[in-house]
Structure 1
Amino acid sequence: MTQPMALAPAEPGERLGIVAGGGALPRIVAAEARQSGWAPFIVPIADGRLYDWSAWDHRSLSWAQTGDVFTLLRTHGIATVVFCGTISVRPDYRSFVPSLRTLGMLPEILRMVRGGDDSLLRAVSGSFEVRGFRVLSVQSLVPNLLTPDGVLTRREPTGPAAAAVQRAAQAAQQLGRLDIGQAAVASCDRVIAVEGIEGTGEMLQRVADLRGRGRIGRGEPTVLFKAFKPQQDERFDLPSIGVETVRQAEAAGLSGIALTAERSLIIESEGVIEALDAAGLFLVGVSDPTMGDAR
């Protein structure tokens, strides 16, 4: 499959607002966007405020100031935005004093935060779009982050491990339909763990604990599957892995990882593949997660 080209600005130097959470992804997006001719303006929020953005044109916003984002972006001539990065804790808007603009938006904000992650992200994007902003996906700006179809590591899933990919894929798809999480761990015979509000990392810690207590057999190959939700908007929160995911998977005693091909992200893929090969784990992109076909 031909790799799509990164989306270029209408004219060189067009402003791009990057609403940045935590992790490596916002920095990757900013660097790639600048190389493609955009002029990024970073708006760190939540976990993103822990990073040093001093080398970039930026303005950090606390949760109490989030209602100021639209005026901030317009002031900097920005009509196009992208959301990326992790947010580990949702805000409690009742627990702090909001800015005047945030106060005016509180009814809208409180409606947004009631549902699961997918419904929240749809509501946030709708809030930007109704105010005239164009909302892009991460993969439109950095298409080389997308997971290719097929096996990406030296090790391949065969026998029980291949069957575990299928079972984990089916579990993750059912989980996604309920907008609960994106990930599941399974063996060929049973589902071991599913991701809830705690996230993939803490789920894998539970799997490591289960294995340590003998609840998972030594000869029972287990696989992590991170799946694109059936109803998910492709512009937001695609399932993703990085080197830390590999470390956690190895600690949990997994045999490998599988992702929805072309609808998931591998962050810093060279390091991820190198870490997987060193650990003896496989990575496979699955084109049809409902079938879990890892061939």
Structure 2
Amino acid sequence: MNTQTHNLRAALIAFIAFTAFSGADTIVKTLSARIGVYETTFLLSVFALSFIVVHGCLSGQAKRLLPVYPKLAFGRALLLSMNTLLIYYAFSALPLAEAYVLGFLSPIFVAIVAFIMVGERLSLRGWFGVLLGFAGVIWILQPGAAPLSAGHLAALGSALFFAIAQVLLRRAKSDESDKALVVALLIVQSCFAGLLALYNGLITPQWQDLGLALLGGGLIAFAQTMIVKAFRLGSAAIVAPVQYSQIIWGLFYGALLFNAPVEIHMLAGAVVILISGWLVLN
């Protein structure tokens, strides 16, 4: 199978994975209005962890659930847990599409963080993409025209934590298991979300809430598995931009389930950020 075919299959697998992630994000937004964002995150993380552990044991890969380099695995997990908690809060406070667009600054932040932390150089076109991305954010946020909310800051913060985690992952040894990295993330995420849920006061979920959380956890476990396959099969420059398909799902679910209006300035800013991400990735 040639490189082009591999990349095509990887892009298709990535699209399926990000579609599943979007479904889980919609469940997060729905449940957060009922039982709070931290309790929602805890339930989905525990269910996703359970699915992955059971699958690992049944498939005879139980040993690969344990990290070979625990410091790196749990350091990355800490950063990604912050990323998840922040973006889930953004989902609860903003229209899905708007939270997605701001979260998609992560490729731009990756370029900046990699330059600062490991000295990776970026081409002139790449730096133009960085500046263009921030221009897109300013266009979306419209300083002075609308108040900057905690949801906006959470979405931007999530992109930054994700970028730092991605740069840290580049230092991971090739013999570190992908499953172990995901398990470490879900363990840390469950602990953080559980403590925050206890601090804020628990709300007893209804049976339908638990059913939605179980479905969301299954979608997360499935999506994590598929996205690992996609990045192993194809080029990162091909796979990563497929994430932008979540904007379409965000607009669709937002209009269908949450009566979120489609705003022209947000769409224009999204186009600018998509172009900037493409410039940085290429």
TM-score by length of 1: 0.23
Question: RCO (CA 8 Å, sep 6+): is it higher in 1 or 2?
Answer: 2
> Higher strand proportion, which one?
1
> Higher helix proportion, which one?
2
TM-score by length of 2: 0.24
